[in-house]
Structure 1
Amino acid sequence: MQAVEEIVYDELKTEKNLDDKTPRELFFNEHKDLLKDAKEWMKDTSNSCMVVATLVATVAFAAMITVPGGNNSNTGLPILAREKLFVAFSISNALSMVSSAVSLLMFLSIQTSRYTEGDFLDSLPKKLLRGLLSLFIAIATMMVSFGTAIGLSLQTRLNWSYIPITIIACVPVIIFTWLQLPLLLQAIRVESGPGIFQGQRDLKLWSIEKIGCSLLAYDRV
């Protein structure tokens, strides 16, 4: 509807039909069922993603408390703090915790939204995109944290075994990513893509500019 409004004359936007309804009023009245279905879908999607974000945040928090190798009984510092893998573990785990918290807040804001027509136009798609991006980052960094933790635990013996263990543990995450990736790509496409009437809008602007140049040339003559 907005795409059409951008290419029609202003007086047509408020013109009323035989039922005394403007185009906007008629559009909203004819799409009540669509708004209801979209509200239910948005709630179900955000609920599912909130569960995953909560699990990731819980795992990241627990992993930071019980670090691989344990802590020194005298100083309280991690025993493997000087290892390079421990630095990677700490950074990835912190990123996973922060990203999952951001994702959880984004989906929580979707749950508390008013679900009006204007929200579906701008606010809700942006929140959904940010929440999904944060969730994918949280999951990816969680698996990096898991792999480095396995590597730290088995570096003294069987130092090669953490590779197949990490690959096997990544299978559920890969399945989740594969299932939710189309939704993320669709959200990115909607937010960044051109309007459905981009060509007509450009043609209209070109026509106005052409007419203006013609009038200016005629006035000079």
Structure 2
Amino acid sequence: MYFLILIHADLAETLIKNFSDLALRGSILMAITLTFPTDLGFMESFIYPSFHGVHLKTVVRDSMLFHPDKCVDDILRVVRICNNMCCNWLGKNSMILLVPIATLYPIYQLISLLILMLRLTFSMLYFLLWKFLAVTVPPIKNMEKKKKEYKEAKKILSLICDRIGTSNDTYTMPLIEAVRKGIYEVVDEILYTSPSTINCKDKEGYNILQLAIINRSEKVYNLISHIIDHKMSYRRRNDSYENNLVHLAGRLAPSFVLGRTTGAALQLQRELLWREEVTKLLSPKELLSENIYNETPTMVFTREHQDLMKEGENWMKTTAESCSITAALIVTIVFAAAITVPGGSNQESGLPLFKNKIPFTIFAVFNAFSLFTATTSLLLFLSILTTRFSEKDFLVTLPRRLIFGLSTLFLSTMGMIVAFCAILFLVFCDQRPWMLALIAAFACLPISVIVCIKLPLLLDLIQSTYIPIFGQQSYLESCKVNRKTTIFKE
């Protein structure tokens, strides 16, 4: 059945509508849950055009300018503010200066309309360009196919849940499996169709909140966060071993969850973020409670993550050492280039012979820039190697130092290459400008290598450190959640 969804979505939809017994089988919903396609990733979402969303937001926001009541209120508000300011500066007879403000509003309205039309035109052109690239460029074609499969799967999922209705027995296993795998679309649709399934438990007695914490399903956790605010029993419910929610967050995440994050240090950072988030749900007294093994949540976290912490320390040291070697080489090269003046110096004044040349000025500026940024990068990497590597350091301190160290290393490499290209142009390309193209082509080679090797790591660090994983929901999801909130209130 699910094969039809991916290959012939229209045919699968027709079969479900005409043969309702297919949808009533729990195996169909479980099959969809196990093979539900993923949405676009972090980087893919920046490239993929949200055509409908751009138009909707643009029209809603800019159309407010053309509401007469709102326009009058805005004009009067501006007149009052300007009047008060002018009275303070110019005196009480300054009201005559405010007369043109009301007459200028039609011009402002016309300019806003032109801006709206330009924005819609550019978004339309971008959308048409994307559709052209989706046919000719294989990576973008795969991205378009992935997005299409995701939309079709959501459509079929909604149709099946509507056919099933509010049958709890059919939803139990697919809901539990969706929570474990972090498929928040299935969880959202099931909870919206059958709100009473919020009380479902697995064979070990864990509810969906506990399962979301154990399996680190942040999207599911964000989806049911409003339920946590209204159901106090969910926060204080312990398992058979007297483990509260923070005890469960202290467990080591499953291997398939850890594998989603690059590097042991970032894996430990993600575990620390989960512990901090779940800690907010309980009172300070509950954070010190012990399970049947007389372990507090802190003791559980330390015991479960001691191996991961050692791996994270080794990973961080290895990365810092390799980058510090590169930074040291750059410092050596650019420092030697700074004290060795290209072209020589004047024997009488000691000034460089090429001091009035623009390429020499570019060389001097970028060489100094490369020296300073490489030195800063080297100091940052050395500070990583000499840190104490405690648990809290992996949360923000160490990733932030590595981010700034890698950023300054990129900048120093680019500055060194620009300085080298400038001096090559000055020395060799005076009479042969065609050599500039060769120099620029060769200069792109080391830049592309370092970008391909280190840029993915830098992006992963920035995403893991500065982009929150909790409390993030799209507009449509938040609308559906708000409609369900009143149902789950105690």
Q: For this structure pair, what is the TM-score category when the shorter chain's length is used for normalisation?
A: 0.7 to 0.9
1:199 deviates by 5.0
Q: Which residue of 1 aligns with 2:471?
A: 198
1:151 deviates by 0.9
2:436 is matched with which residue: 162, 173, 179? 162
1:9 is matched with which residue: 280, 283, 296? 283
1:48 aligns with 2:322: yes
Q: Which residue of 1 aligns with 2:391?
A: 117
Give the letter aligned to residue 372 of structure 2. V
Q: Is this contact kept in 2: 1:60–1:142, CA < 8 A?
A: yes
1:31-110 alignment runs, 5 A limit: 31-110=305-384
1 CA distance for matches of 2:413 and 2:281?
A: 43
- Secondary structure (helix, strand or coil) at the match of 2:430 reads coil
- Secondary structure (helix, strand or coil) at the match of 1:198 reads coil
Higher relative contact order (CA 8 A, sep 6+): 1
Q: Which residue of 1 aligns with 2:456?
A: 182
1:44 deviates by 0.5
The structure that has the greater radius of gyration is: 2
Q: Is this contact kept in 2: 1:69–1:152, CA < 8 A?
A: no
Q: Is this contact kept in 2: 1:86–1:149, CA < 8 A?
A: yes
Q: Is this contact kept in 2: 1:146–1:166, CA < 8 A?
A: no
Residue by residue, what CA displacement relative to the aligned partner does 1:82-130 show, whole Å, maximum 9, x if unpaired?
1111111111110100000000000000000111111111211111111
2 CA distance for matches of 1:155 and 1:66?
A: 20
The runs of 5 or more residues in structure 2 that have no matched partner are: 1-274, 479-490
Give the letter aligned to residue 471 of structure 2. Q
1:170 deviates by 3.5
1 CA distance for matches of 2:471 and 2:287?
A: 19
- Large movers: runs of 4+ above 6 Å: none
Q: Which residue of 1 aligns with 2:299?
A: 25
Give the letter aligned to residue 47 of structure 1. E
Q: Is this contact kept in 2: 1:4–1:197, CA < 8 A?
A: no
- Secondary structure (helix, strand or coil) at the match of 1:33 reads helix
Q: Which residue of 1 aligns with 2:418?
A: 144
1:168 deviates by 1.5
TM-score (norm 2): 0.40
Give the letter aligned to residue 23 of structure 1. P
1 CA distance for matches of 2:426 and 2:340?
A: 13
Residue by residue, what CA displacement relative to the aligned partner does 1:139-160 show, whole Å, maximum 9, x if unpaired?
1111111111111112432232
Q: Is this contact kept in 1: 2:279–2:287, CA < 8 A?
A: yes
1 CA distance for matches of 2:472 and 2:293?
A: 32
Q: Cα RMSD over matched residues?
A: 2.0
